[in-house]
Structure 1
Amino acid sequence: MSLWTALTHNRAATRPDHPDVRLRGRAYAVPFAAVWTAALETATAQARWTVTESDPRAGEIVAESRTLLWRFTDDVRIRVSLDADGNTRVDLESASRKGRGDLGTNARRIARFLHALDCHLFGQQRATR
C-alpha cells in the first residue's frame, strides 16, 4: 500500500481481481451452511468486534469494529454467497466512519479475518482462491 493510499482512503473491500492478494476474498469448496457458521463464529471471536446483524438467507453479517488506539468505530460487512462454479464465496468490506485515511487499518482487518476464517475451516491448510 502506498503512503498516498494510506492517507486518502478509509475503506477496503475484496474483489476477485484485487492487486493486493490479501484482498481477493475466498472461494471454498465447502457447503454454504458450514462456511456461514464458520464466518459468523469467526466474526464473533474477533477482538473488538461486535456483530450487529446476521441474516443467513441474505448471506450477510454486519459488525462494528473498534480501533485499538483511538477507539473509533468502523463498519464491517461480510457477504457469503455461491459463485458460478458452485463454491461458497466470502467477500468483505470494511470502512472507517471518521477520517479521510485509515493507514491500512481496513485492509489489515479484512486480511486478518480471512486468515482466521481459513484457520477455522481448515486449520493450517490454505483455502482455494
Structure 2
Amino acid sequence: MATIGKLVVLLIAVAVLLLVVALLRNAPSFSAPPGLGPRLLAYLSTNVAETSDDSVYPELRTPVCAEQASQVLAAVEQVARSMGWGQIERADNRLTTVITTPLWRFKDDMAISTQTTPGAGTRLHLRSASRVGRGDLAANSAYIMSMLSGLKSMGIRCQQ
C-alpha cells in the first residue's frame, strides 16, 4: 500500500512540475494587471486569447499599427513563417495559421486580421485558440506576444 501512495505522490509531483515548466516557458507576466490571481485563473481555465480594445490584460489590447494594412499583413505572414508556424493561409485582410506546441505536439489555431483605421493606420486583431484542453497555460497569449514582437523587429510600429 505504501508503494501506491508513493506512486501517487510522484505522479502529482510530475504533474505540478510540468504545469510550472509550461507556465514559465510561456513567460506570462504575473505581476502586470489584473494581478497574479486573475491571471493564474485565466491561464488554467481559458484556452483562448485575443486582442480587444478593453482587455484587462495590457498585452492583449488591440494594437494599432502606423503602416498600411497590406504591409502589416505581409509582415504577419513573414513572422509566422519565420516562427515555423504551419498551414498558413492568407486571404483578403486575414491570415490563419496552425501552431504546434513543442512538448505535447497539440495544435493551436491563430487568426489575424487587419482593418484600416480612419487615421490611415491599421488595427490588428489577433486570436489564438487551443484545440485541446480547458486551460492553455498562457500559451495563446505567448503566441500573440511573439507575433507582436516579431512585427516590431521587422519595423512595424504598433501601439496598444
TM over 0.5: yes
Cα distance between partner residues in 1 of 2:99 and 2:137: 16
Residue 151 of structure 2 corresponds to 117
Whose relative contact order is higher, 1 or 2, with alpha carbons under 8 Å and at least 6 apart?
1
Greater percentage in helix: 2
AA aligned opposite 1:2: R
Say if 1:43 and 1:10 are closer, same or farther in 2 by CA, change over 3 A. Answer: same
Specify whether residues 35 and 68 from structure 1 end up closer, same or farther in structure 2 by C-alpha distance, changes over 3 A only.
same
Moved over 4 A (4+): none
2:23 corresponds to which residue?
A: none
Cα 1:24–1:53 change in 2 (3 A) is same
* TM alignment of 1:18-33, pairs within 5 A: 18-33=55-70
Count matched residues.
123
| Structure 2: runs of 5 or more not aligned | 1-37
Displacement after TM superposition at 1:69 (Å): 0.5
Q: How high is the TM-score relative to the length of structure 1?
A: 0.86
- Classify the secondary structure of the residue corresponding to 1:61: strand
CA distance in 2, matches of 1:62, 1:100: 22
Q: How does 1:35-114 map to 2 (within 5 A)?
A: 35-47=72-84, 49-55=85-91, 57=92, 59-114=93-148
Structure with greater proportional strand content = 1
Q: Give the gaps of 5 or more residues in structure 1.
A: none
CA distance in 1, matches of 2:54, 2:110: 20
2:72 aligned partner, one-letter code: V
Q: Once superposed, what is the RMSD of the aligned Cα atoms?
A: 1.6
* SS of equivalent residue, structure 2 residue 137: coil
Larger radius of gyration: 2
Residue 81 of structure 1 contacts residue 88 of structure 1 at CA under 8 Å; is this kept in 2?
A: yes
Distance in 2 between residues matched to 1:65 and 1:12, nearest whole Å: 14
